[in-house]
Protein backbone atom coordinates (compact mmCIF):
# COMPACT_ATOMS: atom_id res chain seq x y z
CA UNK A 1 0.00 0.00 0.00
CA UNK A 2 1.37 3.39 -1.01
CA UNK A 3 2.15 5.91 1.71
CA UNK A 4 0.21 8.43 -0.30
CA UNK A 5 -3.55 8.64 -0.37
CA UNK A 6 -3.52 10.98 -3.35
CA UNK A 7 -0.99 11.27 -6.18
CA UNK A 8 -1.60 13.89 -8.83
CA UNK A 9 0.78 14.37 -11.70
CA UNK A 10 0.76 16.86 -14.54
CA UNK A 11 -2.94 17.59 -14.06
CA UNK A 12 -4.28 20.01 -16.64
CA UNK A 13 -7.87 21.18 -16.57
CA UNK A 14 -9.39 23.38 -19.21
CA UNK A 15 -12.94 24.71 -18.93
CA UNK A 16 -14.53 26.10 -22.08
CA UNK A 17 -11.13 26.92 -23.52
CA UNK A 18 -9.78 28.51 -20.34
CA UNK A 19 -6.80 26.91 -18.57
CA UNK A 20 -7.77 26.46 -14.92
CA UNK A 21 -5.04 24.01 -13.86
CA UNK A 22 -1.79 24.06 -15.81
CA UNK A 23 0.17 21.01 -14.80
CA UNK A 24 -0.38 20.29 -11.11
CA UNK A 25 1.82 17.77 -9.30
CA UNK A 26 0.79 16.88 -5.77
CA UNK A 27 1.14 14.06 -3.28
CA UNK A 28 -0.85 13.73 -0.07
CA UNK A 29 0.33 11.38 2.66
CA UNK A 30 -2.23 9.18 4.37
CA UNK A 31 -3.68 10.47 7.67
CA UNK A 32 -2.48 13.99 7.21
CA UNK A 33 -4.17 17.31 6.59
CA UNK A 34 -3.14 19.06 3.42
CA UNK A 35 -4.33 22.63 3.09
CA UNK A 36 -4.41 24.08 -0.40
CA UNK A 37 -4.16 27.84 -0.22
CA UNK A 38 -4.37 30.43 -2.92
CA UNK A 39 -6.14 33.56 -4.00
CA UNK A 40 -9.62 33.45 -5.55
CA UNK A 41 -9.63 32.04 -9.06
CA UNK A 42 -6.38 30.15 -8.66
CA UNK A 43 -8.07 26.77 -9.33
CA UNK A 44 -8.31 25.44 -5.75
CA UNK A 45 -11.91 24.25 -5.96
CA UNK A 46 -11.39 22.74 -9.41
CA UNK A 47 -8.40 20.79 -8.11
CA UNK A 48 -10.44 19.54 -5.16
CA UNK A 49 -13.36 18.55 -7.39
CA UNK A 50 -11.07 16.68 -9.77
CA UNK A 51 -10.07 14.39 -6.91
CA UNK A 52 -13.56 12.86 -6.68
CA UNK A 53 -14.62 13.62 -10.25
CA UNK A 54 -17.26 16.17 -9.41
CA UNK A 55 -15.82 17.93 -12.44
CA UNK A 56 -17.78 15.40 -14.52
CA UNK A 57 -20.80 17.68 -14.09
CA UNK A 58 -19.10 20.76 -15.52
CA UNK A 59 -19.96 21.45 -19.14
CA UNK A 60 -17.10 21.88 -21.57
CA UNK A 61 -14.42 20.57 -19.25
CA UNK A 62 -11.29 18.80 -20.45
CA UNK A 63 -9.08 16.99 -17.92
CA UNK A 64 -5.62 15.61 -18.70
CA UNK A 65 -2.97 14.07 -16.51
CA UNK A 66 -3.00 11.45 -13.81
CA UNK A 67 -4.96 11.39 -10.57
CA UNK A 68 -4.43 8.31 -8.43
CA UNK A 69 -6.53 8.10 -5.29
CA UNK A 70 -6.12 5.25 -2.81
CA UNK A 71 -3.98 3.46 -5.37
CA UNK A 72 -6.51 3.66 -8.21
CA UNK A 73 -6.74 5.90 -11.25
CA UNK A 74 -9.88 8.00 -10.67
CA UNK A 75 -10.69 8.13 -14.36
CA UNK A 76 -11.01 4.37 -14.67
CA UNK A 77 -13.16 3.59 -11.65
CA UNK A 78 -16.88 4.03 -11.10
CA UNK A 79 -17.38 7.68 -10.03
CA UNK A 80 -20.05 6.79 -7.46
CA UNK A 81 -17.73 4.26 -5.85
CA UNK A 82 -15.00 6.91 -5.82
CA UNK A 83 -17.24 9.55 -4.23
CA UNK A 84 -18.28 7.16 -1.49
CA UNK A 85 -14.65 6.95 -0.42
CA UNK A 86 -13.67 10.50 -1.24
CA UNK A 87 -16.43 12.73 0.13
CA UNK A 88 -16.57 16.48 -0.40
CA UNK A 89 -18.05 19.08 1.92
CA UNK A 90 -18.95 22.31 0.15
CA UNK A 91 -18.45 25.88 1.26
CA UNK A 92 -22.17 26.52 1.63
CA UNK A 93 -24.00 24.35 4.17
CA UNK A 94 -26.43 22.16 2.23
CA UNK A 95 -28.32 19.83 4.55
CA UNK A 96 -31.42 18.48 2.81
CA UNK A 97 -34.25 20.67 4.12
CA UNK A 98 -36.96 18.01 3.75
CA UNK A 99 -35.07 15.50 5.90
CA UNK A 100 -34.67 15.55 9.66
CA UNK A 101 -31.30 16.08 11.33
CA UNK A 102 -31.10 12.34 11.96
CA UNK A 103 -32.06 11.40 8.41
CA UNK A 104 -29.54 13.82 6.94
CA UNK A 105 -26.70 12.12 8.76
CA UNK A 106 -28.13 8.64 8.27
CA UNK A 107 -28.45 9.07 4.51
CA UNK A 108 -24.87 8.22 3.44
CA UNK A 109 -24.76 5.34 5.89
CA UNK A 110 -27.84 3.94 4.15
CA UNK A 111 -26.48 4.66 0.68
CA UNK A 112 -23.20 2.94 1.45
CA UNK A 113 -24.79 0.04 3.28
CA UNK A 114 -22.78 0.83 6.40
CA UNK A 115 -25.56 0.18 8.89
CA UNK A 116 -27.43 -3.10 8.79
CA UNK A 117 -30.20 -2.21 11.25
CA UNK A 118 -31.73 0.73 13.11
CA UNK A 119 -29.44 0.35 16.10
CA UNK A 120 -26.32 0.40 13.92
CA UNK A 121 -27.69 3.39 12.04
CA UNK A 122 -28.25 5.23 15.30
CA UNK A 123 -24.71 4.42 16.39
CA UNK A 124 -23.25 5.75 13.12
CA UNK A 125 -25.30 8.95 13.38
CA UNK A 126 -24.29 9.45 17.00
CA UNK A 127 -20.62 8.80 16.20
CA UNK A 128 -20.63 11.26 13.31
CA UNK A 129 -22.40 13.98 15.30
CA UNK A 130 -20.02 13.48 18.21
CA UNK A 131 -17.04 13.79 15.89
CA UNK A 132 -18.17 17.27 14.87
CA UNK A 133 -19.16 18.21 18.45
CA UNK A 134 -22.81 18.56 17.51
CA UNK A 135 -24.30 15.63 19.38
CA UNK A 136 -24.87 17.46 22.66
CA UNK A 137 -26.56 20.31 20.83
CA UNK A 138 -29.00 18.18 18.82
CA UNK A 139 -29.42 14.90 20.68
CA UNK A 140 -32.86 15.94 21.93
CA UNK A 141 -34.07 17.19 18.58
CA UNK A 142 -32.89 14.66 16.05
CA UNK A 143 -36.37 14.68 14.50
CA UNK A 144 -36.24 18.43 13.87
CA UNK A 145 -35.49 19.83 10.45
CA UNK A 146 -32.15 21.51 9.70
CA UNK A 147 -33.70 24.99 9.39
CA UNK A 148 -33.86 25.02 13.18
CA UNK A 149 -30.04 25.04 13.30
CA UNK A 150 -27.69 27.99 12.98
CA UNK A 151 -25.48 28.35 9.89
CA UNK A 152 -22.45 26.97 11.73
CA UNK A 153 -24.42 24.05 13.12
CA UNK A 154 -25.70 23.26 9.64
CA UNK A 155 -22.15 23.19 8.31
CA UNK A 156 -21.14 20.83 11.12
CA UNK A 157 -24.19 18.74 10.25
CA UNK A 158 -22.90 18.52 6.67
CA UNK A 159 -19.50 17.49 7.99
CA UNK A 160 -21.17 14.83 10.13
CA UNK A 161 -23.13 13.68 7.08
CA UNK A 162 -19.88 13.32 5.16
CA UNK A 163 -18.29 11.37 8.01
CA UNK A 164 -21.26 9.02 8.21
CA UNK A 165 -20.27 7.79 4.75
CA UNK A 166 -17.10 6.49 6.46
CA UNK A 167 -14.87 7.95 3.77
CA UNK A 168 -11.15 7.40 3.52
CA UNK A 169 -10.53 10.90 2.22
CA UNK A 170 -12.38 14.03 3.19
CA UNK A 171 -12.33 17.02 0.84
CA UNK A 172 -13.29 20.37 2.31
CA UNK A 173 -13.94 23.38 0.12
CA UNK A 174 -13.57 26.42 2.40
CA UNK A 175 -15.82 24.81 5.02
CA UNK A 176 -15.66 27.72 7.44
CA UNK A 177 -15.96 30.57 4.97
CA UNK A 178 -19.50 31.53 5.98
CA UNK A 179 -19.61 30.70 9.67
CA UNK A 180 -18.80 32.32 13.00
CA UNK A 181 -15.51 31.90 14.94
CA UNK A 182 -17.00 29.56 17.55
CA UNK A 183 -18.20 27.07 14.93
CA UNK A 184 -14.96 27.52 12.97
CA UNK A 185 -13.04 26.54 16.08
CA UNK A 186 -15.17 23.44 16.59
CA UNK A 187 -14.70 22.35 12.97
CA UNK A 188 -10.94 22.85 13.15
CA UNK A 189 -10.81 20.91 16.42
CA UNK A 190 -12.77 18.07 14.80
CA UNK A 191 -10.43 18.01 11.81
CA UNK A 192 -7.36 17.68 14.01
CA UNK A 193 -8.95 14.65 15.69
CA UNK A 194 -10.16 13.13 12.43
CA UNK A 195 -6.65 13.12 11.01
CA UNK A 196 -6.08 9.89 12.96
CA UNK A 197 -8.78 8.16 10.95
CA UNK A 198 -8.67 9.64 7.47
CA UNK A 199 -6.83 11.88 5.04
CA UNK A 200 -8.07 15.44 4.73
CA UNK A 201 -7.57 17.92 1.92
CA UNK A 202 -8.89 21.37 2.68
CA UNK A 203 -9.07 24.43 0.51
CA UNK A 204 -8.88 27.86 2.09
CA UNK A 205 -7.86 31.36 1.20
CA UNK A 206 -7.10 32.15 4.86
CA UNK A 207 -3.42 31.51 5.74
CA UNK A 208 -4.06 31.75 9.49
CA UNK A 209 -6.52 28.86 9.26
CA UNK A 210 -3.91 26.80 7.44
CA UNK A 211 -1.47 27.56 10.29
CA UNK A 212 -3.95 26.14 12.80
CA UNK A 213 -4.85 22.88 11.10
CA UNK A 214 -2.39 21.92 8.35
CA UNK A 215 0.32 19.28 8.41
CA UNK A 216 1.26 20.19 4.88
CA UNK A 217 0.35 23.16 2.75
CA UNK A 218 0.40 23.84 -0.97
CA UNK A 219 0.05 27.21 -2.56
CA UNK A 220 -1.84 27.24 -5.83
CA UNK A 221 -1.44 30.30 -7.98
CA UNK A 222 -2.81 30.71 -11.48
CA UNK A 223 -3.32 26.98 -11.93
CA UNK A 224 0.15 25.93 -10.75
CA UNK A 225 1.41 24.80 -7.35
CA UNK A 226 4.16 27.29 -6.67
CA UNK A 227 5.22 25.88 -3.31
CA UNK A 228 4.36 22.95 -1.09
CA UNK A 229 5.79 21.37 2.00
CA UNK A 230 5.35 20.90 5.75
CA UNK A 231 3.19 23.69 7.12
CA UNK A 232 5.71 25.07 9.60
CA UNK A 233 8.45 25.15 7.00
CA UNK A 234 6.36 26.97 4.43
CA UNK A 235 5.02 29.50 6.90
CA UNK A 236 8.31 30.16 8.66
CA UNK A 237 10.55 30.12 5.65
CA UNK A 238 8.70 30.48 2.33
CA UNK A 239 10.97 29.84 -0.61
CA UNK A 240 8.81 31.32 -3.33
CA UNK A 241 8.20 35.01 -3.79
CA UNK A 242 4.51 34.43 -4.57
CA UNK A 243 4.09 32.47 -1.31
CA UNK A 244 5.72 35.31 0.54
CA UNK A 245 3.38 37.84 -1.01
CA UNK A 246 0.33 35.64 -0.35
CA UNK A 247 1.20 35.15 3.30
CA UNK A 248 1.68 38.90 3.69
CA UNK A 249 -1.71 39.48 2.07
CA UNK A 250 -0.15 41.26 -0.89
CA UNK A 251 -2.01 39.06 -3.45
CA UNK B 1 -48.80 49.50 7.90
CA UNK B 2 -47.34 49.77 4.40
CA UNK B 3 -45.33 52.84 3.50
CA UNK B 4 -45.08 53.69 -0.18
CA UNK B 5 -42.72 56.12 -1.81
CA UNK B 6 -44.30 58.55 -4.26
CA UNK B 7 -43.27 56.51 -7.31
CA UNK B 8 -44.43 53.29 -5.66
CA UNK B 9 -47.81 54.92 -5.08
CA UNK B 10 -48.10 55.74 -8.77
CA UNK B 11 -47.21 52.13 -9.65
CA UNK B 12 -49.67 50.81 -7.06
CA UNK B 13 -52.56 52.92 -8.34
CA UNK B 14 -51.66 52.03 -11.94
CA UNK B 15 -51.96 48.31 -11.40
CA UNK B 16 -54.91 48.51 -8.99
CA UNK B 17 -57.54 48.51 -11.79
CA UNK B 18 -55.95 45.39 -13.26
CA UNK B 19 -56.06 43.56 -9.91
CA UNK B 20 -59.63 44.67 -9.25
CA UNK B 21 -60.53 43.75 -12.84
CA UNK B 22 -59.20 40.19 -12.50
CA UNK B 23 -60.96 39.67 -9.18
CA UNK B 24 -64.12 41.18 -10.59
CA UNK B 25 -63.96 38.99 -13.70
CA UNK B 26 -63.52 35.83 -11.62
CA UNK B 27 -66.41 36.76 -9.34
CA UNK B 28 -68.58 37.76 -12.29
CA UNK B 29 -68.07 34.40 -14.00
CA UNK B 30 -68.85 32.57 -10.76
CA UNK B 31 -71.90 34.66 -9.96
CA UNK B 32 -73.18 34.64 -13.54
CA UNK B 33 -72.90 30.83 -13.72
CA UNK B 34 -74.59 30.45 -10.34
CA UNK B 35 -77.36 32.87 -11.34
CA UNK B 36 -78.00 31.04 -14.60
CA UNK B 37 -78.05 27.71 -12.75
CA UNK B 38 -80.44 28.93 -10.08
CA UNK B 39 -83.73 27.83 -11.79
CA UNK B 40 -82.42 24.30 -12.09
CA UNK B 41 -81.24 24.16 -8.46
CA UNK B 42 -84.61 25.59 -7.34
CA UNK B 43 -86.60 23.13 -9.42
CA UNK B 44 -84.68 19.91 -8.81
CA UNK B 45 -82.92 20.59 -5.50
CA UNK B 46 -80.71 17.80 -4.26
CA UNK B 47 -81.97 15.47 -7.04
CA UNK B 48 -79.70 17.38 -9.36
CA UNK B 49 -76.71 16.09 -7.44
CA UNK B 50 -77.80 12.55 -6.62
CA UNK B 51 -79.63 11.35 -9.73
CA UNK B 52 -78.40 10.68 -13.26
CA UNK B 53 -80.98 11.66 -15.79
CA UNK B 54 -81.30 13.86 -18.86
CA UNK B 55 -84.92 14.13 -19.89
CA UNK B 56 -85.84 17.28 -21.74
CA UNK B 57 -89.52 17.78 -22.55
CA UNK B 58 -91.72 20.42 -24.09
CA UNK B 59 -93.78 20.47 -20.90
CA UNK B 60 -91.51 21.81 -18.15
CA UNK B 61 -93.32 19.64 -15.58
CA UNK B 62 -92.08 16.56 -17.37
CA UNK B 63 -88.48 17.66 -17.53
CA UNK B 64 -86.06 15.79 -15.26
CA UNK B 65 -82.33 16.27 -14.84
CA UNK B 66 -79.67 14.85 -12.56
CA UNK B 67 -75.94 15.46 -12.84
CA UNK B 68 -74.52 12.73 -10.57
CA UNK B 69 -73.20 10.54 -13.42
CA UNK B 70 -71.42 13.29 -15.37
CA UNK B 71 -70.08 14.89 -12.21
CA UNK B 72 -68.71 11.63 -10.81
CA UNK B 73 -67.66 10.66 -14.35
CA UNK B 74 -65.63 13.86 -14.56
CA UNK B 75 -63.87 13.12 -11.28
CA UNK B 76 -63.38 9.44 -12.15
CA UNK B 77 -61.90 10.02 -15.62
CA UNK B 78 -59.66 12.81 -14.33
CA UNK B 79 -58.47 10.69 -11.40
CA UNK B 80 -57.63 7.77 -13.69
CA UNK B 81 -55.87 10.14 -16.09
CA UNK B 82 -53.84 11.63 -13.22
CA UNK B 83 -52.82 8.16 -12.06
CA UNK B 84 -51.42 7.56 -15.55
CA UNK B 85 -49.94 11.04 -15.93
CA UNK B 86 -47.93 10.99 -12.72
CA UNK B 87 -45.60 8.02 -13.34
CA UNK B 88 -45.26 8.99 -17.00
CA UNK B 89 -44.29 12.55 -16.14
CA UNK B 90 -41.86 11.51 -13.42
CA UNK B 91 -40.18 9.02 -15.79
CA UNK B 92 -39.93 11.65 -18.53
CA UNK B 93 -38.54 14.22 -16.09
CA UNK B 94 -35.90 11.76 -14.87
CA UNK B 95 -34.94 10.86 -18.44
CA UNK B 96 -34.72 14.43 -19.65
CA UNK B 97 -32.93 15.93 -16.65
CA UNK B 98 -30.58 13.12 -15.67
CA UNK B 99 -30.31 10.24 -18.11
CA UNK B 100 -30.43 11.38 -21.70
CA UNK B 101 -27.54 13.27 -23.27
CA UNK B 102 -28.24 16.99 -23.01
CA UNK B 103 -28.99 17.45 -26.72
CA UNK B 104 -31.38 14.53 -26.95
CA UNK B 105 -33.03 15.54 -23.67
CA UNK B 106 -33.40 19.08 -24.94
CA UNK B 107 -34.91 17.85 -28.18
CA UNK B 108 -37.35 15.62 -26.30
CA UNK B 109 -38.29 18.55 -24.11
CA UNK B 110 -39.10 20.64 -27.18
CA UNK B 111 -41.25 17.79 -28.55
CA UNK B 112 -43.08 17.55 -25.23
CA UNK B 113 -43.70 21.27 -25.19
CA UNK B 114 -45.03 21.12 -28.75
CA UNK B 115 -47.28 18.21 -27.74
CA UNK B 116 -48.56 20.29 -24.84
CA UNK B 117 -49.61 22.97 -27.29
CA UNK B 118 -51.38 20.72 -29.81
CA UNK B 119 -55.13 21.34 -30.23
CA UNK B 120 -56.97 18.82 -28.08
CA UNK B 121 -59.26 17.94 -30.96
CA UNK B 122 -56.25 16.22 -32.59
CA UNK B 123 -55.86 13.98 -29.53
CA UNK B 124 -59.62 13.45 -29.44
CA UNK B 125 -59.82 12.31 -33.05
CA UNK B 126 -56.83 10.02 -32.62
CA UNK B 127 -58.43 8.58 -29.49
CA UNK B 128 -61.79 8.04 -31.18
CA UNK B 129 -60.56 6.63 -34.49
CA UNK B 130 -57.36 4.79 -33.58
CA UNK B 131 -57.12 4.16 -29.85
CA UNK B 132 -60.70 3.19 -28.96
CA UNK B 133 -60.99 0.17 -31.33
CA UNK B 134 -57.41 -0.86 -30.56
CA UNK B 135 -57.97 -0.73 -26.81
CA UNK B 136 -61.26 -2.62 -27.13
CA UNK B 137 -59.69 -5.49 -29.08
CA UNK B 138 -56.26 -5.78 -27.51
CA UNK B 139 -56.58 -4.42 -23.98
CA UNK B 140 -60.17 -4.32 -22.76
CA UNK B 141 -61.27 -7.74 -24.00
CA UNK B 142 -58.26 -9.63 -22.54
CA UNK B 143 -58.57 -7.69 -19.28
CA UNK B 144 -62.26 -8.50 -19.06
CA UNK B 145 -61.61 -12.13 -19.97
CA UNK B 146 -58.86 -12.75 -17.42
CA UNK B 147 -59.48 -10.15 -14.73
CA UNK B 148 -63.24 -9.76 -15.04
CA UNK B 149 -63.68 -10.62 -11.34
CA UNK B 150 -62.25 -7.18 -10.49
CA UNK B 151 -65.15 -4.67 -10.49
CA UNK B 152 -63.36 -2.12 -12.69
CA UNK B 153 -62.92 -4.78 -15.42
CA UNK B 154 -66.21 -6.58 -14.87
CA UNK B 155 -68.27 -5.21 -17.79
CA UNK B 156 -68.03 -6.39 -21.38
CA UNK B 157 -66.38 -3.83 -23.64
CA UNK B 158 -68.57 -3.02 -26.61
CA UNK B 159 -67.55 0.05 -28.59
CA UNK B 160 -64.26 0.99 -27.00
CA UNK B 161 -65.63 4.44 -26.18
CA UNK B 162 -65.26 4.35 -22.45
CA UNK B 163 -63.84 5.88 -19.30
CA UNK B 164 -60.57 4.02 -19.93
CA UNK B 165 -60.15 5.37 -23.46
CA UNK B 166 -61.03 8.90 -22.37
CA UNK B 167 -58.63 8.70 -19.40
CA UNK B 168 -55.78 7.43 -21.56
CA UNK B 169 -56.22 10.14 -24.17
CA UNK B 170 -56.58 12.74 -21.42
CA UNK B 171 -53.34 11.41 -19.92
CA UNK B 172 -51.52 11.62 -23.25
CA UNK B 173 -52.74 15.18 -23.76
CA UNK B 174 -52.01 16.34 -20.20
CA UNK B 175 -48.68 14.56 -19.58
CA UNK B 176 -46.68 17.19 -21.52
CA UNK B 177 -48.15 19.94 -19.33
CA UNK B 178 -47.36 18.14 -16.05
CA UNK B 179 -43.92 17.07 -17.33
CA UNK B 180 -43.07 20.67 -18.21
CA UNK B 181 -44.08 21.72 -14.68
CA UNK B 182 -41.98 18.95 -13.10
CA UNK B 183 -38.91 19.72 -15.21
CA UNK B 184 -39.20 23.38 -14.28
CA UNK B 185 -39.55 22.47 -10.61
CA UNK B 186 -36.65 20.02 -10.71
CA UNK B 187 -34.40 22.58 -12.37
CA UNK B 188 -35.36 25.09 -9.68
CA UNK B 189 -33.82 22.93 -6.95
CA UNK B 190 -30.72 24.81 -5.81
CA UNK B 191 -27.58 23.17 -7.20
CA UNK B 192 -26.10 22.93 -3.71
CA UNK B 193 -28.52 20.12 -2.87
CA UNK B 194 -27.68 18.25 -6.04
CA UNK B 195 -23.99 18.62 -5.34
CA UNK B 196 -24.65 17.57 -1.75
CA UNK B 197 -26.12 14.23 -2.72
CA UNK B 198 -23.67 13.53 -5.55
CA UNK B 199 -20.76 14.25 -3.18
CA UNK B 200 -21.94 11.34 -1.07
CA UNK B 201 -21.56 8.94 -3.98
CA UNK B 202 -25.22 8.64 -4.91
CA UNK B 203 -26.08 7.27 -8.33
CA UNK B 204 -28.16 9.43 -10.66
CA UNK B 205 -31.25 7.45 -9.71
CA UNK B 206 -30.57 7.79 -5.97
CA UNK B 207 -29.91 11.51 -6.40
CA UNK B 208 -33.11 11.95 -8.41
CA UNK B 209 -35.11 10.02 -5.84
CA UNK B 210 -33.80 12.15 -3.01
CA UNK B 211 -34.21 15.42 -4.85
CA UNK B 212 -37.70 14.42 -5.92
CA UNK B 213 -38.47 13.94 -2.24
CA UNK B 214 -37.59 17.59 -1.87
CA UNK B 215 -40.10 18.27 -4.63
CA UNK B 216 -42.90 16.18 -3.16
CA UNK B 217 -45.35 19.02 -2.50
CA UNK B 218 -44.52 20.42 -5.92
CA UNK B 219 -45.22 17.04 -7.55
CA UNK B 220 -48.55 16.79 -5.74
CA UNK B 221 -49.39 20.36 -6.67
CA UNK B 222 -48.48 19.74 -10.32
CA UNK B 223 -50.62 16.61 -10.32
CA UNK B 224 -53.54 18.58 -8.92
CA UNK B 225 -53.10 21.20 -11.60
CA UNK B 226 -52.98 18.40 -14.19
CA UNK B 227 -56.10 16.89 -12.63
CA UNK B 228 -57.82 20.25 -12.79
CA UNK B 229 -56.89 20.58 -16.45
CA UNK B 230 -58.18 17.09 -17.23
CA UNK B 231 -61.37 17.85 -15.31
CA UNK B 232 -62.19 20.74 -17.60
CA UNK B 233 -61.14 19.08 -20.85
CA UNK B 234 -64.07 18.88 -23.26
CA UNK B 235 -63.22 17.86 -26.81
CA UNK B 236 -61.20 14.75 -25.99
CA UNK B 237 -63.80 13.45 -23.57
CA UNK B 238 -66.75 14.25 -25.82
CA UNK B 239 -65.14 12.21 -28.61
CA UNK B 240 -63.98 9.21 -26.57
CA UNK B 241 -66.08 8.62 -23.46
CA UNK B 242 -69.24 7.38 -25.15
CA UNK B 243 -71.60 10.07 -23.81
CA UNK B 244 -74.03 7.94 -21.85
CA UNK B 245 -75.99 9.18 -18.87
CA UNK B 246 -74.99 6.48 -16.40
CA UNK B 247 -72.08 5.70 -14.21
CA UNK B 248 -70.50 2.45 -13.11
CA UNK B 249 -67.12 1.68 -11.67
CA UNK B 250 -66.23 -0.46 -14.68
CA UNK B 251 -63.75 1.43 -16.84
CA UNK B 252 -64.96 -0.25 -20.07
CA UNK B 253 -68.37 1.41 -19.82
CA UNK B 254 -69.24 4.66 -21.53
CA UNK B 255 -70.34 7.57 -19.37
CA UNK B 256 -70.52 11.34 -19.47
CA UNK B 257 -68.51 14.12 -17.93
CA UNK B 258 -69.85 17.60 -17.28
CA UNK B 259 -67.87 19.12 -20.16
CA UNK B 260 -68.94 16.35 -22.58
CA UNK B 261 -72.55 16.79 -21.45
CA UNK B 262 -72.38 20.53 -22.04
CA UNK B 263 -70.71 20.07 -25.44
CA UNK B 264 -73.24 17.49 -26.61
CA UNK B 265 -76.43 19.12 -25.24
CA UNK B 266 -75.79 22.83 -25.52
CA UNK B 267 -77.18 23.22 -29.00
CA UNK B 268 -80.66 21.96 -28.13
CA UNK B 269 -80.70 23.04 -24.49
CA UNK B 270 -82.21 26.44 -25.28
CA UNK B 271 -85.40 24.75 -26.45
CA UNK B 272 -86.32 23.55 -22.95
CA UNK B 273 -86.98 25.50 -19.79
CA UNK B 274 -84.56 23.73 -17.45
CA UNK B 275 -81.98 22.17 -19.78
CA UNK B 276 -79.81 25.24 -20.13
CA UNK B 277 -79.91 26.12 -16.40
CA UNK B 278 -78.94 22.50 -15.68
CA UNK B 279 -75.95 22.78 -17.98
CA UNK B 280 -75.01 25.96 -16.10
CA UNK B 281 -75.42 24.04 -12.84
CA UNK B 282 -72.96 21.47 -14.18
CA UNK B 283 -70.59 24.27 -15.13
CA UNK B 284 -70.96 25.74 -11.67
CA UNK B 285 -70.13 22.41 -9.99
CA UNK B 286 -67.10 22.05 -12.23
CA UNK B 287 -66.02 25.61 -11.49
CA UNK B 288 -66.21 24.99 -7.73
CA UNK B 289 -64.35 21.64 -7.97
CA UNK B 290 -61.70 23.03 -10.28
CA UNK B 291 -61.18 26.17 -8.16
CA UNK B 292 -60.83 24.18 -4.94
CA UNK B 293 -58.33 21.77 -6.52
CA UNK B 294 -56.29 24.56 -8.14
CA UNK B 295 -56.31 26.51 -4.86
CA UNK B 296 -54.99 23.50 -2.94
CA UNK B 297 -52.34 22.94 -5.64
CA UNK B 298 -51.18 26.55 -5.58
CA UNK B 299 -51.03 26.64 -1.77
CA UNK B 300 -48.84 23.52 -1.85
CA UNK B 301 -46.55 25.13 -4.41
CA UNK B 302 -46.11 28.18 -2.20
CA UNK B 303 -45.41 25.97 0.81
CA UNK B 304 -42.73 24.13 -1.16
CA UNK B 305 -41.08 27.36 -2.29
CA UNK B 306 -40.85 28.47 1.34
CA UNK B 307 -39.31 25.16 2.30
CA UNK B 308 -36.53 24.96 -0.27
CA UNK B 309 -35.44 28.48 0.59
CA UNK B 310 -33.92 27.09 3.78
Report the half-sphere exposure of A27 (CA within 13 A, side-chain side).
7
Query: What are the tens digits of pLDDT across the range B233-256?
Result: 999 999 999 999 988 899 999 999
Residues of A with CB under 8 A from a CB of B: 52, 54, 57, 59, 80-85, 87-90, 92, 94-99, 107-108, 111-112, 145-147, 158, 161-162, 165
DSSP state of A130: H
Beta-bridge partner residues of B147: none
CATH top class, domain B68-269+298-309: mainly alpha
Quick one: average pLDDT of B11-40?
A: 93
The answer to whether the Cβ–Cβ distance between B202 and A92 falls below 8 Å is: no
Whether residue B310 has pLDDT greater than 60: no
Contact A101, A128 (CB under 8 A): no
Q: Is the dihedral of CA B196, B200, B201, B204 positive or negative?
A: negative
Among candidates A96, A4, A238, which has minimal Cα distance to B213?
Answer: A96
Locate the domains of chain B by residue range: 68-269+298-309
d(CA A68, CA A84): 16
Q: Distances in Å between the alpha carbon of B267 and those of B144, B262, B270, B275?
A: 36, 9, 7, 10
d(CA B201, CA B27): 53
Q: Which has more confidence, B213 or B54? A: B54
β-pairing, A224-230 with A61-69?
Answer: unpaired
B101 in A contact zone (CB under 8 Å):
no
Of B201, B213, B216, the CB nearest to A83: B201
Whichever domain contains A83, its CATH number is 3.40.50.300
Question: Of the ranges A104-113, B14-23, B103-112, B300-309, which one carries the lowest mean pLDDT score?
Answer: B300-309
ipTM of the complex: 0.89
d(CA B274, CA A203): 78
How far away is chain B from the Cα of A169, in angstroms, using its nearest Cα? 12
pLDDT at A194: 93
Helices (H), B95-140: 102-117, 120-126, 132-135
d(CA A48, CA A58): 14
Helix (H) or strand (E) holding A73: strand A72-73
Q: Which domain holds residue A92?
A: 4-247
B203 in A contact zone (CB under 8 Å):
yes
- How many domains, in total, are found in chain A? 1
Query: What are the tens digits of pLDDT across the range A42-72?
Result: 999 999 999 999 999 888 899 999 999 999 9
Query: How many other CB atoms are found less than 10 A from the CB of residue B178?
Result: 28
- Compare all CA atoms of chain A with the CA of B309 and give the residue at the minimum distance: A97
Q: Distances in Å between the alpha carbon of B178 and those of A174, B92, B123, B171, B233?
A: 39, 10, 16, 10, 15
Interface test with B, best of A96, A128, A147 (most B CBs within 10 A): A96
pLDDT at B297: 78
Q: What is the largest distance, in Å, between two alpha-carbon atoms of chain B? A: 75
Amino acid sequence: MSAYAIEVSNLRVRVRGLDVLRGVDLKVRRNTILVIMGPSGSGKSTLLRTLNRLTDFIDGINVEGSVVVLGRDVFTIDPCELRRKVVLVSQEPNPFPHMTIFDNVALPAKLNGIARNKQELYEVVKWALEKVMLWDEVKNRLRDYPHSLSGGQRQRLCLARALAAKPEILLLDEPTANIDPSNTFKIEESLRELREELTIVMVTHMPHQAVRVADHVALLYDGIIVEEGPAKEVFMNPKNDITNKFLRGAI
Amino acid sequence: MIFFSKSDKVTFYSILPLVVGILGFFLTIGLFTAYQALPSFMQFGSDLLITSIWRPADDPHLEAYGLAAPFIGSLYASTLATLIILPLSVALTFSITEILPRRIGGFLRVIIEIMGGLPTVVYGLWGAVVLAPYLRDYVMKPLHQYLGFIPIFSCRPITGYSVLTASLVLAVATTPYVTALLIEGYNMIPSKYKEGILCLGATKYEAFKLLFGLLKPYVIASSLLGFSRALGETTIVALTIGNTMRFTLCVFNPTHTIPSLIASQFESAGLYMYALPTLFAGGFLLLIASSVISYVGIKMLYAWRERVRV
